[in-house]
């Protein structure tokens, strides 16, 4: 208890109030020799946790899963999911929910360990994770947060002192993840398929109370809930598209109910603009390519809608009709968010549907000339597009003139336009070669300085006053397309 007071953990276990089928209570799964590798000071502070106390021996044991947090009941959550279109029983096979922390502002956050050992849902897996993938999730999720995109956060990574076997032997690691919750589309699929109607209702009420409490006393709250999730996912995926983020494995178990980005495996940011970009080595059919993400979002939400049908209306036909109607909002909402975001990126305050051709032309030109997505918008923002290879190309110059005319149509000062663009176009993203460089130094040489520097830069990506120019460069060698591997 004393340790708890010092760190500031304040745990609830609301998930354990759900029907037993939804989770498995777990013992912790100790590792050999926990060592703290990285700790997120800003996040700790925002959660009301003491940074120094979090680094203590006892705390590191907790972050490694060698002992439970005081007041927490460790559980593995049950869920199912469509993986690359195929429905499977999944669940936390290498994660533990330690409890839900109440922040100083009264918000509830899941505290989850990832890589914490086998559970009843592990299937053939070892329940463990490698240092590389855990640091990768740490970097990318913190970058996403910096970019203003809803995401789970990374509080800490510890090594376990045990090697794990993958394609190569790797140091084992555990990541402490903070999330609005770990409720997924797949959680609902699980309850709909294997739970009773009562189980499903309990889960839906839990999700509504936790994420959409104002719906609690509304008539047909389950339909409204579906509509809200649709809206949040439309907003989220539009944000991904606007920064060129490719999730890589948008299975239904990797889509949250809260609207946060989750499960950073083979994800990466696109450099050269190409709608067909796929980084994941296992995504052979390009199901989760950049251009497909919005549609896959709709596909996943349709799976959520199906899971909720029996709650939406007792008459199946009417339920289907209501759910389908709710789904029609998704493409509209998505376009609304995307268009508004693109307007901001181009400094257009009063963007309209008619501006889509201006946007599309720019994207087509970027694709035609192999321009870097982030740098093109950065240089447009800075009024330095002459530094881009696009400059001087007849069709691009024509586009540029049209864009300038469009800006002139608004009764807004140049400064104002630039301010809007600076807020909307990151200077830096976690470029793939930079991420690899940081991970290699960390894993091969236990040198974390490159990682620390990278984190510093990518967590304030809109800071145009900083000298981040080195981080805007593309890799010098072009040794073939970048490939990512599932973080297992």
Residue 450 CB, nearest distance to ligand AMP (Å)?
A: 26
Give catalytic status of residue 253 as yes or no.
yes
- Among Mg ion, ligand AMP, none, what binds residue 127 when CB lies within 5 to 8 Å by partner kind? ligand AMP
- Residue 125 Cβ vs ligand AMP, minimum distance, rounded to whole Å: 2
126 is in the binding site of which of ligand AMP, Mg ion, none (Cβ under 5 to 8 A by kind)? ligand AMP
Q: Which of 13, 24, 122, 418 binds ligand AMP (CB under 6 A)?
A: 122
72 belongs to the binding site for ligand AMP (CB under 6 A): no
Q: Which does 90 bind (CB under 5 to 8 A by kind): ligand AMP, Mg ion, none?
A: ligand AMP
Q: Which stretch binds ligand AMP (CB under 6 A): 34-42, 61-69, 123-131, 455-463?
A: 123-131
Q: Does 127 bind ligand AMP (CB under 6 A)?
A: yes
Interface mask (CB under 6 A) for ligand AMP, residues 467-486, using x and -? -------------------x
Q: Which residues pair with 12 in a beta bridge?
A: 100
Least CB distance to Mg ion at residue 442 (A): 23
Place of tokens 């995401």: 151
* Burial of 117 from C-beta contacts in 10 A (0-12 / 13-18 / 19+): buried
Compute the distance between CA of residue 191 and CA of residue 77 in angstroms, rounded to an integer: 12
DSSP letters for 47-85: TT--HHHHTSHHHHHHHTTSSPPTT---EEE--EEEETT
Q: Tell me if 137 contacts ligand AMP by CB under 6 A.
A: no
d(CA 144, CA 374): 14
Distances 228 to 122, 131, 163, 208, 233 between C-alpha atoms, Å: 32, 36, 43, 10, 9
- Sign of the Cα pseudo-torsion (310, 312, 318, 321, in order): negative
Query: Is 333 among the residues that bind ligand AMP (CB under 6 A)?
Result: no
- Outline where 409-475 has alpha helix (H): 414-424, 432-445, 449-458, 469-472
Helix (H) or strand (E) holding 382: helix 373-382
Name residues contacting Mg ion, limited to 329-388 (CB under 5 A).
Answer: none
- From residue 401, give the alpha-carbon distance in Å to each of 273, 396, 406: 21, 9, 9
Residue pair 72/102 in contact (Cβ under 8 Å)? The answer is: no
DSSP code of residue 27 = -
Which of Mg ion, ligand AMP, none lies near 486, with the C-beta cut-off 5 to 8 A by kind? ligand AMP
Q: Report if residue 100 touches Mg ion, rule: CB under 5 A.
A: no
- Encoded one letter per residue, x for contact with ligand AMP by CB under 6 A and - for no contact, window 230-269 reads ------------------------x--------x-x----
Residues forming the site for Mg ion (CB under 5 A): 254, 263
Residue numbers at the binding site for ligand AMP (CB under 6 A): 90-94, 121-122, 125-128, 254, 263, 265, 486, 488
* Catalytic residue set: 253
């Amino acid at each position: 208890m004393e340790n708890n007071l010092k760190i500031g953990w304040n745990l609830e276990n609301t998930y354990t109030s759900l029907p037993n089928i939804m989770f498995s209570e777990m013992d912790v799964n100790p590792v050999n020799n926990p060592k703290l590798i990285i700790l997120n000071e800003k996040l700790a502070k925002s959660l009301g946790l003491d940074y120094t106390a979090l680094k203590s021996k006892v705390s590191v044991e907790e972050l490694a899963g060698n002992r439970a947090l005081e007041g927490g009941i460790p559980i593995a959550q049950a869920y199912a999911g469509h993986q690359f279109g195929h429905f499977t029983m999944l669940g936390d096979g290498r994660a533990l929910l330690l409890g839900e922390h109440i922040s100083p502002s009264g918000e509830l956050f899941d505290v989850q360990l990832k890589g914490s050992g086998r559970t009843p849902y592990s299937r053939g897996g070892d329940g463990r994770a490698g240092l590389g993938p855990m640091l990768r999730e740490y970097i990318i999720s913190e970058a996403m947060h910096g970019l203003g995109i809803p995401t789970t956060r990374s509080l800490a990574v510890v090594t376990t002192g045990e090697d794990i076997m993958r394609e190569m032997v790797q140091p084992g690691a555990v990541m402490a993840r903070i999330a609005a919750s770990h409720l997924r589309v797949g959680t609902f699929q699980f309850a709909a398929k294997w739970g009773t109607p009562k189980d499903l209702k309990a889960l839906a009420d839990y999700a509504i109370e936790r994420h959409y409490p104002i719906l609690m006393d509304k008539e047909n709250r389950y339909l409204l809930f579906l509509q809200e999730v649709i809206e949040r996912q439309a907003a989220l995926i539009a944000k991904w598209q606007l920064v060129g983020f490719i999730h890589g494995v948008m299975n239904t178990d990797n889509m949250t109910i809260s609207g946060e980005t989750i499960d950073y495996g083979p994800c990466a940011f696109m450099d050269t603009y190409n709608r067909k970009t796929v980084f994941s080595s296992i995504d052979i059919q390009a199901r989760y390519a950049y251009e497909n993400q919005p549609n896959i979002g709709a596909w996943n939400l349709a799976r959520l809608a199906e899971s909720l049908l029996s709650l939406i209306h007792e008459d199946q036909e009417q339920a289907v009709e209501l759910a389908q109607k709710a789904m029609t909002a998704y493409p509209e909402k998505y376009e609304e968010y995307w268009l508004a975001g693109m307007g901001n990126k181009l400094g257009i305050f009063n963007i309209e549907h008619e501006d889509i051709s201006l946007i599309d032309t720019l994207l087509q030109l970027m694709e035609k000339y192999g321009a870097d997505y982030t740098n093109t918008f950065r240089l447009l923002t800075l009024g330095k597009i002459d530094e881009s290879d696009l400059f001087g190309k007849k069709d691009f110059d024509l586009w540029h003139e049209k864009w300038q005319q469009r800006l002139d149509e608004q009764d807004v000062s140049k400064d104002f336009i630039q301010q809007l663009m600076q807020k909307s176009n990151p200077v830096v993203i976690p470029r793939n070669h930079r991420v690899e460089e940081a991970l290699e130094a960390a894993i091969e040489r236990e040198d974390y300085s490159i990682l620390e520097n990278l984190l510093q830069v990518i967590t304030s990506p809109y800071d145009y006053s900083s000298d981040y120019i080195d981080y805007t460069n593309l890799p010098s060698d072009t040794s073939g397309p970048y490939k990512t591997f599932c973080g297992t």
